[in-house]
Amino acid sequence: MSLLYDWLIGPFADFGFMRRALAACLALSLGSGAMGVFLVLRRMSLIGDTMAHSVLPGAAIGFMLAGMSLPAMSLGGFLAGLLVALASGLVSRFTPQKEDASFASFFMISLAIGVLLVSTHGSAVDLMHVLFGSILAVDDGSLILMASVASTTLMVLAVIFRGLVAECFDPLYLRALNGRGGLYHVLFLTLVVLNMVSGFQALGTLMAVGLMMLPATAARFWVREVWSLICLATLVAFVSGYIGLVLSYQFNWPSGPAIVLVAGALYLLSLAIGPRDGILLPLLVRRHLRS
């Protein structure tokens, strides 16, 4: 019993930085779970990845101007991500180029600028910090930012939920009703960028998207409705955060990759045994239902 306590609860009871890291995981899960579900439903899973990388130059400029200042880096990252999202959206709206191609183009430009800026004005340690984050070094300011982003995400999502669902399902119908489909799209992309920025302090720009996408893709093997997908993705994200932190503490692993790897393991488990299109179920249960 004591061993179990030492493994699962002890690190959080004994160390403030572990408690803050766990609270950060909860905040990130609450915002990222819903964002990931909508990215998957809108077939924008890889666009989420490109957006995560596109915050880098903004964060780097924030770092150049104010050093390791979270508000400066977050604001810079947010503006850079938003710029890439808006530019890509405008190109796909006003030219025949599809959104994935324009996102890929702008994100590569953005990433290259970001790496160049960090490399010429910072050290390799700074670059590693931005790319991979450090959830165990989350301070009160970061925690407040993450909680604020999660709260804002859930509140805005509650307000635009019906419009966002309509815009995902049948965009032409909503546009014909003058339903401002473009507005929901822009608000949604803004929320995604906000959550990316919230996540990069903890997990880095490379890993932040992992806690957004993997729980959402895993949830699709268990439930179907949008609300249940969001709830389950949020739960999977938090459980991944908790187990990842425990493994990170016990085995001295870097925390960001540990968290994302746990989310990846839960995805593979869902892929195997999930009751909704999981690959093992049809092999185990061969009998079909009555017509």
Partner 1 sequence: MTEPDLVSLRDVTVAYDRHPAIHHVSCGFARGSLTAIIGPNGAGKSTLVKTIAGLLKPAEGAMRLHGVSPKDIAYLPQLAGIDDSFPISVQDVVLLGLWRRTGAFGRITLDMRVEASKALSTVGLDGFEGRAFGSVSAGQRQRVLFARVLVADSPLILLDEPFSAVDSRTTADLIRLIDRWHREGRTVLAVLHDHDQVRRHFPQSLLMAREVVAGGPTEEVLTPANLLRARAMSEAWDGDAEVCRGAA
Positions touching partner 1 (CB under 8 A) are 41, 96, 159-160, 162-163, 165-166, 168-180, 224-226, 229
C-alpha 77/C-alpha 290 separation (Å) is 55
Contact (CB, 8 A) for 33 and 215: yes
Smaller CB separation from partner 1, 13 or 176: 176
The three-class DSSP label of residue 49 is helix
Residues 6 or more apart in contact with residue 47 via CB below 8 angstroms: 39, 99, 100, 103
Smaller CB separation from partner 1, 115 or 180: 180
The conformation of residue 139, written as its DSSP 8-state character, comes to: -
Rounded to the nearest whole angstrom, what is the least distance from the CB of residue 43 to partner 1 in the complex?
Answer: 8
Backbone angles phi, psi at 254, to 5 degrees: -65, 135
Rounded to the nearest whole angstrom, what is the least distance from the CB of residue 93 to partner 1 in the complex?
Answer: 13
Residue from 264, 269, 271, 267 nearest 247 by CA? 264
The conformation of residue 95, written as its DSSP 8-state character, comes to: S
Smaller CB separation from partner 1, 15 or 169: 169
Question: What would the two tokens of residue 209 be?
Answer: 């998207």
Residue with token string 């017509």? 291
Question: What would the two tokens of residue 146 be?
Answer: 């993450």
Rounded to the nearest whole angstrom, what is the least distance from the CB of residue 152 to partner 1 in the complex?
Answer: 18
Smaller CB separation from partner 1, 68 or 176: 176
Rounded to the nearest whole angstrom, what is the least distance from the CB of residue 88 to partner 1 in the complex?
Answer: 20
Smaller CB separation from partner 1, 139 or 170: 170
Residue type, 156: V
Smaller CB separation from partner 1, 11 or 163: 163
Rounded to the nearest whole angstrom, what is the least distance from the CB of residue 265 to partner 1 in the complex?
Answer: 25
Rounded to the nearest whole angstrom, what is the least distance from the CB of residue 231 to partner 1 in the complex?
Answer: 13
